[in-house]
Amino acid sequence: MAEQQEKRKRVFSAVKPTGNPTLGNYLGPMQHWGGMSDEYDCLFAVADLHALTVAIEPKELKENSLRLFALLVAVGVDPEKAIVFVQSHVPAHSELGWILNNYTMFGEARRMTQFKEKSEKAPENVNVGLFDYPVLMAADILLYKADIVPVGDDQIQHVELCRNIAERFNGRFGNTFTVPEWQTPKSGARIYSLSEPTAKMGKSDGDASGSVFILDPPETIMKKFKRAVTDSEMRVKASEDKPGITNLLNIYAAATKTTVEQAEREFCACDYATFKTRVGEAAVEVLRPVREKYESLRRDDGALASLMNAGAERAKRLAARTMEKVRKRVGLLPL
């Protein structure tokens, strides 16, 4: 009976279709998304509206969005179980984003470290969308009353802001939104560049030697790992002054589902060259089924487009319910 069934919690997350998704993206949140449908009602989106906040060529955005959608399915998100869709296909995201702008304080948005970082990185394009980015992200989450938001640790601050916005809105207008919790993966929360192991593994093709892309062929992956920066010691041990080795241990642990401690034991008698090869092989193996599934999906972009439409239709229905309530609450005339 319906009453007796415990209500399943809802999960929402999204990825921006900028750059080329990396091993870091996969070992972080994405690899867990497929399995989450067993326990939760899941929605996963391609955050194409968020991608507009950085300078991106239209052709590139289009291809990236298609690629990312296919990748979400390829990493194991089953479009029959989860709702997989493209953010801009559900106009309610923009609409709620605008409404939430009015319950977000300039001062709290200004504290976002990612805005500061991105502004410094691209001073010629510090646009209002970039500043407003976390408010749109809050709309993404609140629209579906998500309980849990799986993210990489660089997004925690944005989910905290979303909680503040939800609480403020609920406080003023009565309980409307679910206040979500963020969740970071136990391993692989942050994977660093292989060539510069103190910087996050970047998605832009400019970081091609330090970044392993999910769709890289095995030979390329192995080449990148063999060139990975280490240190002048000969000790496979995680420590703060050994960022290269620590990163490789993290990658290995996340790719083979062991712990860093176990990996340290496994490689304690290894030289760096052997260690790097073994980590590379682990990365190749964990990415192989994803790449193969991706390639088979991309053989039929028509089928992919119908999956996309079906996802958007399902998301729209859920979003419409929230929007109706929100409109009423703030005093907009009903549609």
Nearest distance from C-beta of residue 163 to ligand TRP, angstroms = 12
- Here the tokens at position 172 are 């003023």
**Residues engaged in binding ligand TRP (CB under 6 A):** 12-16, 47, 50, 137, 140-141, 149, 151, 155
Q: Which of 118, 224, 242, 276 is catalytic?
A: 118
CB atoms within 10 A of CB 224: 22
Catalytic residue among 62, 81, 116, 200: 200
203 classed as catalytic = yes
End-to-end Cα distance, the chain: 35
Choose among 246, 221, 220: nearest CA to 233.
246
User: Shortest approach of ligand TRP to residue 97 CB, angstroms?
Assistant: 10
Q: Single out the residue of 19, 14, 5 nearest to residue 207, CA to CA.
A: 19
In the complex, what is the shortest distance from the CB of residue 140 to ligand TRP, in angstroms, rounded to a whole number?
Answer: 4
Exposed / middle / buried, residue 221 (Cβ in 10 Å: 0-12, 13-18, 19+): buried
Query: Which of 48, 70, 45 is closest to 58 using CA atoms?
Result: 48
Question: 114-120 contacts: CB < 8 A, separation 24 or more?
Answer: 114/154, 114/157, 114/158, 118/53, 118/54
Smallest gap from Cβ 261 to ligand TRP, in A, equals: 29
The catalytic residue positions are: 118, 200, 203
